[in-house]
Amino acid sequence: MSEATTGACTIVLATPHRRHDTLEARLRERQALNVIRVRRPEELDPERLAQHAPRYVFLPHWSWKVPAAVYEKFECVVFHMTDVPFGRGGSPLQNLIARGIENTQLTALRCVAELDAGPVYLKRPLSTLGTAEEVLLRAATLIEQMIVEIVAHRPMPVPQTGEVVTFKRRTRQDGNLASAKT
């Protein structure tokens, strides 16, 4: 019997978003994982995490820099809404929509010092069509599946290949459509 089915596997789910409450509950119930929830940057503390000895620290839609003391001590998995190395950086969904890209990959990658540059565990297709909330809810479903797969199979992440394209974090002004002609 694997750790995932016996409940012996402890993971950290680091996300402030209420839309991930269901993800947390489903991981606890369906997969019998011991899930430690982190909602604020100050809770992502290596000493606090060490008390739980997590196998993985999963960071879906985490908007803050992960301290080196955390990703160097724990296996941290970031979820990014592009087919890295294309689209590393901030505001991936907004940048994809602004570029007219309707299909992307949701990527699970290892957290490293350089933003979104770590090796890749898994990629899954994701449509950017619909409202942002619809896309984010579809992504949450994929994130659950990816977490289950990573915990169950412990894949070795592989280095990214291809041309690096970096997105800049978009601001409120970038979304101002008052002067748009089309």
Distance separating alpha carbons of residues 105 and 125, to the nearest angstrom:
4
pLDDT-derived band of residue 6, with 50, 70 and 90 as boundaries? very low
Distance separating alpha carbons of residues 56 and 98, to the nearest angstrom:
33
Tell me the average pLDDT across 53-69.
Answer: 95
Tell me the average pLDDT across 78-94.
Answer: 95
CB neighbours of residue 119 within 10 Å:
13
Average pLDDT score, the chain: 91
**Residue 148 — left, alpha, or beta (φ > 0 → left; ψ -120 to 50 → alpha)?**
alpha
Task: Report residue 89 as tokens.
Answer: 């950086």
Angle between helix axes 132-153 and 21-30 (nearest 10 degrees) is: 30
Segments in the chain forming alpha helices (H): 3-6, 21-30, 46-50, 68-71, 92-98, 132-153
Tell me the average pLDDT across 35-54.
Answer: 96
